[in-house]
Structure 1
Amino acid sequence: MRRLFSLSHLTAGFIAVLVGYTSSAAIVFQAASAAGGSAEHISSWLWALGIGMFATSVGLSLRFRAPVLTAWSTPGAALLAVGLAGVPMAEAIGAFLFASALIVVCGVFGLFEAIMRHVPKALAGALLAGVLARFGLALFTSLTTQLLLVGLMFAVYLAGRRWAPRYAVPLAFLVGLIVAASSGLIRSDAVSLSFAVPLWTSPVFSPTVLIGIGLPLFIVTMASQNVPGLAVLRANGYQTPASPLITWTGVTGLVLAPFGGFAFNLAAITAAICMSPAADPDPAQRYRAAVWAGCFYLLTGLFGATVAGLFAALPAELVAAIAGLALLGTIGNSLAAALAEEREREAALVTFLGTASGMSLFGIGSAFWGLLLGLLVLKLRPPR
């Protein structure tokens, strides 16, 4: 029981959810609004996403005893924010169901796992490091706007690493909250308490919307989210089978799409927080951090917009700093794995730089293109 309620597990789970919501909750608001969604629709979307991430994160983590954290599709939300303008809500729901059905097919027939078997560990590590690089950099760039806040958090983290390694991140977060509150940086007026109410929308299947919205939603979710999500698991030594993970995220989407659960996928950045040594020195116990994250997702679903407002009340620099501190160990381990093999070093470097660049081509994010370019370099490397 004491292991289940470990402070490091709880803190890692909370920070993962904090980072996930503060980094992209606003995009979900925009996506729902683009389809003409009311405040009730937005609340329902957040309810569906929270409930879905709770069910999959807790269920899959306990089933496989691995830190399997799921998330909504952030690139998918960005695509919807642009593509749903003028699309009726019912037709948008039809596109969500179509995308989730394609994810289920991909998982059931093992197509995704077959592809990922050909990704070397060095490239998986480089992909993960590239995805997380901007969070590590944001830790230091935030010093320019909040020197006292971030500087004290960094100092406490370093001291914690020296004398209490398991509690370095929680202590840094606690100090950040104290400094932010005493400096008047927390906007308490942005928070109001209210429960979310699920709102059913019957789907309408329009061929043009299925092709124009549903298919791209499937592609960006698989390429920009599930590829790095599985790479994070592999880079951290977890050989959890991919097919059931992909299948269950798709099934969850089928169930919750009518309420606004547009797409669920494996998390990468937030999952890395739960897989870091700060969550637990023992990799076999880190799944507990993902379970806690799932429980916090449940709260975000039940309270919907209230929780989003709570996260928005915190200063951006505090969120950037705690995310960077929580991910330092993971970034270091990923770079070490990426550059360990000399023959794969150039391909890993291309993957890292391509992913870290943030480029986007044809609506697909840099994680996919970085991995693709790295595989190309690996294929064209000179013979021994």
Structure 2
Amino acid sequence: MSAFFLRHISAGVTAVIVGYSSAVVIVIDVAKRAGASDAMVVSWLLALGLGMGVTCIAFSWFTKVPVVTAWSTPGAAFLLTTVEQYSYSDAIGAFVLCAFLSLITAQSRLLLKQIGRIPPAISSALLAGILLPLCLTIFSDVNEYPYIVASFLVVYIVGSRLFPQYLMLVLLILSLIVTVFMQGQASDPGFTFELGAPLPVWVTPTLSWSAAIGLGVPLFIITTLSQNLPGIAIHHVHGYFPDHKPILSGIAIVQGILAPFGGFTFNLAAITAAICMGNEVDNDKQQRYKAAIAAGIAYVIVGFSASAIVALFVSMPNVIIHLLAGLALLATLQRAFSKSMETQSHRAPALLTLLCTASGFSLLSLPSAVWGLGLGLGLLFVQKREGKPS
């Protein structure tokens, strides 16, 4: 039994390491672009760690199913390109609105089904358009730092073949080594690291119509389509069929409570959840929920280490941040692009959605992602009205 217990801990901690190492730099960058102070950035990671930890532990314990939650990495990527257009309090208000929409959706299986009917080609193109500019930054520093960029690319190419599960962890270690040799070129050397427990920072939410439509609604759609629906599918693939209504409702309530402290999204995990559901975790399928509980405990510990984590990542030069974020999102971009082009009759609407979203413009206070989704669905509607095969 102890051997199984060690497997649970190993799987849970691995899930947390994979989740954090692949996206924490993006979350910190989002917070800074939103206008967060150093203390607020720490509060973001504290809120996210506690939120994910509590939901993992609580839902896994009560359902006896491995329920792993996460922040929305695609949602963070979307915010990275749009959040600077709004005030900090309006952004917080948009996070609360996203939680409210998620809560309403969780109450109606019909509504969740209707959202799921948005063609995968369009939703994937929307995600690809959001990720493309971020992945292009992999090569934005080639002229200034050719050897650093080349070293990361070599590790990425070799690691994709030899150790794909630990690739982002290896890249993170490489980032720390390179950062040590590049001291004095930090992207934000002004951060003040203080020992001790991190403190939550409350910001009263406000909400404008532009932030509601430009931030809250797209964040909700992206999180639902790219995170919660795949998260449900991961459960079903592994033979787990819990009632997702209370789980999704609880996650949305936690987000609503923690949003003023920086908890921008919480949702079902997919990739990291799969780490806690395989046969290698436990031969007894009914015992694998313990791995998700271990992941929750690790999330809580990491949350209380927020000050050290932020101090670590804000000391990294911009070239390292660009490489880490871009390479972390590369596999997701590949899947999104492939999915967007799978159905021949949806390729033109998907391409229009992708290009419009990737352009990054803002019109009438609405970001390009909103316009891209609208244009893609509009063209798809016109094609169907003209009788083209779907």
TM-score normalised by structure 1 residue count:
0.71
Equivalents in 2 of 1:50, 1:281: separation in Å? 21
**1:325 matched to 2:327:** yes
Please give the per-residue CA displacement for 1:275-329, whole angstroms capped at 9, x wherever unaligned: 89xx8997999x9999898667535642455532322012222222123223322
Structure 2 portions without partners, runs of 5+: 1-5, 236-242, 282-288
Equivalent residue, structure 2, for 1:230 = 224
User: Of 10, 31, 44, which residue of structure 2 is paired with 1:5?
Assistant: 10
Q: Which amino acid counterpart does residue 228 of structure 1 have in structure 2?
A: I
Q: Which amino acid counterpart does residue 145 of structure 1 have in structure 2?
A: E
**1:173 matched to 2:162:** no
Contact 2:124 2:339 in 1 (8 A): yes
**1:122 matched to 2:128:** no
Displacement of 1:380 in angstroms is: 0.9
Structure 1 portions without partners, runs of 5+: 34-38, 85-91, 204-208
Equivalents in 2 of 1:327, 1:109: separation in Å? 32
Equivalents in 1 of 2:83, 2:357: separation in Å? 18
**1:81 matched to 2:75:** no
Q: Which amino acid counterpart does residue 230 of structure 1 have in structure 2?
A: T
Please give the per-residue CA displacement for 1:6-31, whole angstroms capped at 9, x wherever unaligned: 58645422224423333212145x35
Displacement of 1:373 in angstroms is: 1.6
Q: Which amino acid counterpart does residue 265 of structure 1 have in structure 2?
A: T
Equivalent residue, structure 2, for 1:378 = 380
Equivalents in 1 of 2:372, 2:244: separation in Å? 21
Contact 1:127 1:355 in 2 (8 A): yes
Equivalents in 1 of 2:40, 2:181: separation in Å? 36
Question: Quick check: 350-359 or 228-237, which moved more?
Answer: 228-237
Equivalents in 2 of 1:334, 1:103: separation in Å? 23
Change (3 A) 1:226 1:158: same
Q: Which amino acid counterpart does residue 318 of structure 2 have in structure 1?
A: A
SS where residue 374 of structure 2 aligns?
helix
Change (3 A) 1:233 1:100: closer
Displacement of 1:198 in angstroms is: 4.3
Matches within 5 A, 1:190-339: 190=191, 191-198=193-200, 213=207, 219-233=213-227, 239=233, 247-256=249-258, 260-261=260-261, 264-266=264-266, 274=272, 298-299=300-301, 301-339=303-341
SS where residue 194 of structure 2 aligns?
coil
Equivalents in 2 of 1:303, 1:253: separation in Å? 20
Question: Quick check: 243-252 or 75-84, which moved more?
Answer: 75-84
Equivalents in 1 of 2:365, 2:247: separation in Å? 24
**1:108 matched to 2:107:** yes
What do you get for the CA RMSD once the two structures are aligned?
4.6
Please give the per-residue CA displacement for 1:97-148, whole angstroms capped at 9, x wherever unaligned: 7875565344434575244132112222222222221232111223333222
Contact 1:157 1:171 in 2 (8 A): no
Please give the per-residue CA displacement for 1:263-282, whole angstroms capped at 9, x wherever unaligned: 643579xx788589xx8997
Equivalents in 2 of 1:281, 1:335: separation in Å? 27
User: Of 31, 56, 70, which residue of structure 2 is paired with 1:25?
Assistant: 31
Identity of aligned residues (%): 25
Change (3 A) 1:360 1:164: same
Equivalents in 2 of 1:80, 1:345: separation in Å? 36
Please give the per-residue CA displacement for 1:317-359, whole angstroms capped at 9, x wherever unaligned: 2222123223322222221111121111111111211222223
Equivalents in 2 of 1:283, 1:150: separation in Å? 38
Equivalents in 2 of 1:283, 1:266: separation in Å? 27
Question: Quick check: 336-345 or 314-323, which moved more?
Answer: 314-323
Q: How many residues get paired?
A: 354
Displacement of 1:66 in angstroms is: 6.9
SS where residue 142 of structure 1 aligns?
coil
Contact 1:27 1:81 in 2 (8 A): no
Equivalents in 1 of 2:292, 2:366: separation in Å? 27
Equivalents in 1 of 2:223, 2:280: separation in Å? 18
Change (3 A) 1:167 1:301: closer
Equivalents in 2 of 1:115, 1:299: separation in Å? 38
Equivalents in 2 of 1:256, 1:124: separation in Å? 27
TM-score normalised by structure 2 residue count:
0.70
Displacement of 1:152 in angstroms is: 0.6
SS where residue 198 of structure 2 aligns?
coil
Change (3 A) 1:99 1:288: same
Contact 1:123 1:338 in 2 (8 A): yes
Contact 1:66 1:238 in 2 (8 A): no
Matches within 5 A, 1:52-63: 52-56=51-55
